[in-house]
Amino acid sequence: MKDLTHVTLPLGLIDSVSGAETMDAVFQAAADWVPRVFDASTGSITLERDGGLEVRAFQGGCIFGDAVRMDDGVTKAEEVFRTRQPTILHDILKDDCPVHEMLAENGCRSMMLAPLISGKNCLGTLHVLHRDPNAFTHKDLTTLCAMARWIAGRIQIQQQIERLSLMARTDALTSAANRHEFLEQAQKMMARYERLAVPFSLLVVDIDHFKDINDGYGHAAGDAVICEIARRAAAQVRETDCFARIGGEEFAGLLDGTELGAAMMMAERLRMVIARSPVSFRGKDINVTVSIGVAEVLSDEGGIEQTMGRADAKLYKAKQAGRNRVLGAEVLEPCR
C-alpha cells in the first residue's frame, strides 16, 4: 500500500465531516462524500457494535455492507474489519456468490472496502461501490484508506465529545438526568409554553424517611433505593418527558404537554409503583414510599423557579400530612 502521508483529501470532505455536530451527522457526511470522490454509485460506513458490524450511514441506491458475503458466510466488511486489510472486488460476479449476483442486479459490479483505523483500534469499515466492473485502481484504494484513517480519527473525537456531554447531563449514581439537564429542559419547555401555549407540569419527588433507611441499612442500601426509584420512574415517564435526580434523595420530573389533572394521575401511578414493591438489597426487603408535589405552569409566572416553588410547597404539605401521598398546586387560571 502506498504511503498514506502523501495522499491529498478533498477539502469538501474535511469541511463536511469536521463541521458535523453529532455522531450520525459525521457518519452521513462521510458516506455522502465517498462516492463523490470516486464518481461511484454508493458509499456506506459500518461501526463495530456488540461484536458485529452495524451499518450507520448510506448514500446511493443499492445493497451494501452486510449483504456482501464470502462463501463461508463471513461478510467482506467483517473480513476487512478483522484483518485490518483493505480490498478491491474488481468484479463481484467472479466470486460466484448469490448475494453478489443480487448486488449486480441492483447496479453494482465493483467494490472497495477499507478499515476505519485510529491508533490501535479498528472502529469499523468504509465502503464504496461502482456500477461498472474494474472501476477502481490501487491508487483509489490508497485514497480510500487515507479517507478511512482520517474519518476514524474524527469518529473518535466525536465519541469523546458525546461521552463528555453525556457525563455533564447525567447523574453519576442513577444515570438519570442531573439538575443541570433538568433546568435546561425546563427552560426549553417554558420558552415553548410562552411561544405556543403548550402546557407542561412539574413534579418534585422526595423519598420518605430516607435518613432512617441510611441509618438502618447503611449508605449502600440508600444508594440502591435511590437507583431503584430512578429506574421505576423512568419506566413511567414518556420519551418527551424528563425525570432527574436533583440532589440527595430528591427527584424532579417535567411532563410535556400535560395539564395538572393528568400530571396528578401520573404522579399517583408513580407513588403506587414505588410503595407496592419493596426494594431488595442483599437479601433484605426495604419498604420505600415517596411524597410528591405537582404544579402546572402558569402564564403569569416569571420563570420555572416559580413553578418549581409551588410544587415544592405542595411536597412540603404532603410531608406534613403524613407522607406517601401526592398533592397538587391549584390552577387558578386556564393554561391557554
The CATH number that applies at residue 64 is 3.30.450.40
Residue 326 · residue 267 · CB < 8 Å: yes
**105 catalytic residue (yes or no):** no
Q: Which of 78, 181, 228, 249 is catalytic?
A: 249
pTM to 2 decimals? 0.71
Which amino acid is residue 135, in one-letter code? A
Q: Is the pLDDT of residue 336 over 50?
A: no
Same domain for 161 and 194, yes or no, is: no
180-195 average pLDDT score: 94
Structural domain including 89 reads 4-168
Instruction: Assess whether 232 and 211 both reside in one domain.
Output: yes
Question: What pLDDT is stored for residue 70 in this prediction?
Answer: 39
Q: Give me the chain's average pLDDT, please.
A: 89
Which range has the worst mean pLDDT, 62-71, 148-157, 324-333? 62-71
Asked whether residue 195 falls in the same domain as residue 320, the answer is yes
Domains: count for the chain: 2
* 336 within some domain: no
Encode pLDDT of 252-298 as tens digits: 999 999 999 999 999 999 999 999 999 999 999 999 999 999 999 99
Measured between its terminal Cα atoms, the distance across the chain in Å is: 67
Tell me which of 2-6, 64-68, 109-113, 288-292 is least confident: 64-68
Where does the pLDDT of residue 4 fall: very low under 50, low under 70, confident under 90, or very high at 90 and above?
low
**Averaged pLDDT, 42-65:** 76
Contacts of 246 (CB under 8 A, 6+ apart): 178, 179, 182, 252
Looking at residue 257, the DSSP 8-state letter turns out to be: T
Q: Is the pLDDT of residue 102 over 80?
A: no
| 321 pLDDT above the threshold of 70 | yes
- Name which residue leads in pLDDT, 287 or 108: 287
* DSSP secondary structure of 44-77: EEEEEETTEEEEEEEESSS--GGG-B-TTS-BHH
Give the pLDDT of residue 50.
Answer: 83
How many helices (H) and strands (E) are present in the chain, helices listed first?
A: 10, 12
